[in-house]
Amino acid sequence: MKPTVVAIDGPAGSGKSTVSKQLASSLGFVHLNSGALYRGITLLALRSGAALGDEARLTEEARTAEMDFGLDGAFLLNGEDVSEHIRASEVDRAVSTVAALPRVRAAVTEQQRRIAAGKSVVIEGRDVTTVVFPNAQVKVYLDASVEERAARRHADLEAQGEQPSLDEVEREIRERDERDRTRADSPLLVAPDAEVIDTTGMSIDDVVSAIARSARSVVG
């Protein structure tokens, strides 16, 4: 079977990660969360004390870091399972600054293509339908109202033991949206040939089924 790429973009909290994970498991594809790579580089910067705008240094990290996903979906960075560390709120706050650096993006794009090479994948992110895999066989843009996205993110953070206020989470989501949509390099955009799904009020299962139908019609 020819490798199939299902690419899913959308803003923070649109349901991408949950949907992509379930979809990959139902199709038997590898799940590739591209945000994890940007979060991984951000984590390295925070740990080493590098300035978030130090493009030369962070690009070198992005080129040379070993990044991969384990069979259980764990994100491995230089051999360490950092799946939980990359979800911390300090990383949330810093990641869009790092993801705005063009040379870091180029290096992370290469890493994504390397990880996906020769496999059937469900890849999710902000530019995977437009820049990383513009020729993906299935392209989807997931969206949801900002209030619903903030409520989802708030529940995730509470589950991790953090206690931010809902207002604070909503403000951070609006700020992150603004940075992701207005950055000069590869801003979050709806690809002209993407199917747009507004997940506000939709169940995860319904979203997964809708995309799985499109994917199965491509795979045949």
Beta carbon of residue 217, minimum distance to ligand DC (angstroms, whole number) = 25
Beta carbon of residue 1, minimum distance to ligand DC (angstroms, whole number) = 25
3-state secondary structure of 88: coil
Footprint (CB under 6 A) of ligand DC, residues 3-22: 12
> Is residue 125 close enough to count as binding ligand DC by CB under 6 A?
yes
Residue from 180, 197, 199, 208 binding ligand DC (CB under 6 A): 180
Distance CA 16, CA 6 (A): 12
Residue from 4, 59, 96, 130 binding ligand DC (CB under 6 A): 96
Distance CA 201, CA 208 (A): 14
* Length in residues, the chain: 220
Residue from 31, 139, 149, 176 binding ligand DC (CB under 6 A): 176
Tokens found for residue 44: 């390295």
Footprint (CB under 6 A) of ligand DC, residues 57-86: none
Buried b (16+ CB within 10 A) or exposed e, 14-48: bbbbebbbbbbebbebbbbbbbbbbbbbbbbbbee
> Is residue 154 close enough to count as binding ligand DC by CB under 6 A?
no
Residues at the contact surface with ligand DC, assessed by CB under 6 A = 12, 34-35, 38-39, 95-96, 99, 125-128, 176, 180
